[in-house]
Amino acid sequence: MTTGKSSKVPTSRLARFGSLASLAGKVAGGMLAEGARQLAQGQKPVLQQMLLTPANAQRVATQLSQMRGAAMKLGQLLSMDAGDLLPPALTSILAQLRANGSPMLPAQLATLLQQQWGKDWQRNFSAFTFSPIAAASIGQVHQAYHDNGRPLAVKIQYPGISTSIDSDVDNVATLLRVSGLLPQGIDLQPLLAEAKQQLHKEADYLQEAAYLQSYRQHLADDRDFLLPEFYPELSTQQILTMSFVEGVAIDELLQQPQELRDRVMSLLFVLLFKEIFHFRLVQTDPNFANYRFNLQTNQLVLLDFGACRDYSETVSDGYRLLFRALLQQQPALQLQALQQIGYFSAEIKPEQQQAVMSLVSLAAEPLQQDSFDFASSDLPSRMRDAGLQLSMKLQYWHTPPVDALFLHRKMAGLFLLAKTLKAKVPIRDLLRPFVEVQP
């Protein structure tokens, strides 16, 4: 369900820039207030502490949530991809953006529906619920009923989103830099360029529909998964109409038996391996809201295919080689695989290369156990510490290949979900059929 109040989505570039300029002013005002508070307590004000107050971070999150679109999506990407490098005050607030958005005003919604479907659009439905059942960064979802009575989920894109992507991404990045909310030295350019490209794809709902159709074909004979059906006659580039699929939120399964939670996570990891090695098409968004579970049919529901990414045979084979090397603990083969994926293309010192190799081996810890207990693992914190040492002590800031960046984001999301569900998964046995050489 949505959590924010309805608000008008700013559509013009000037209005969107004005929102960010207003935010910068509020952050500065908050900084002065915090400085005054510290002086009143007899403390010497510290710039970083003045900027990174919970109130300032809340202002950033609230403004991005109201702007939606690329502004909000970039906040989501930063909370997921750079979360270990951002200050805790900003990270915790940005994390709220992953699932929550403010729905658009009803009048704005009505205008948009007329523009997309025509004045008599309601004749296609026996019922249409104007209050959204979900609101995120690019659009909001409404429940409706086809004129034949079938329940539908209608995903409606916020107005002006597709034309504001590039400027939004640049403006938010600038805001975070000049406000001091982003540490100096982090090179965001590769992430920003990919964020723009990915967002343009996500804003094309007909492209998302094509990815949905691809997944339906890939999983047509797999009864473990349940996917919505696409309604092309009720869809446009900014409206995606699908069948409504029943299911409970994936994190609610924590109340279910251990056996069910383990099965769900096993299905998700096997699906990931199929995506990498068979489909060469990966849904890279790890948001929990993209999964539900139908307790009546015992099927895992897959939703939202906007963040899909195609992978080349070279990269797919590179990961097959990498996983094989990690299973067999062969460092020379691991190095060959990383080079094939695209690592170490820039100049790198031997000690830096070895640190990257060690970091990858550490990430493969779940492959070294018969059944990995995610609930008791502190692997994410150890990965963070190793990554910070690599960047701070060894001065290695090289951004991973873009394909790897998105894939690792998906893997990290699955790890977080498995930890949330306290699942135990035999990942090694699930992986082996995909990567081992057949006799």
Catalytic residues: 285
The two tokens of residue 63 are 């403004």
The two tokens of residue 311 are 């992978």
Q: How far is CA 346 from CA 223, 319, 349, 401, in A?
A: 45, 20, 10, 11
Residues 6+ apart with CB under 8 A from 372: 365, 366, 424, 425, 426, 427
> At 140, is the secondary structure helix, strand, or coil?
strand
Please, is 130 exposed, middle or buried when counting C-beta atoms within 10 Å of its C-beta (0-12, 13-18, 19+)? exposed
Pick the closest to residue 375 from 337, 415, 404, 340 (CA basis): 415
DSSP secondary structure string, 170-237?
HHHHHHHHHTT-S-TT---HHHHHHHHHHHHHHT-HHHHHHHHHHHHHHTTT-TTEE-PPB-GGG--S
d(CA 307, CA 303): 11
Please, is 378 exposed, middle or buried when counting C-beta atoms within 10 Å of its C-beta (0-12, 13-18, 19+)? exposed
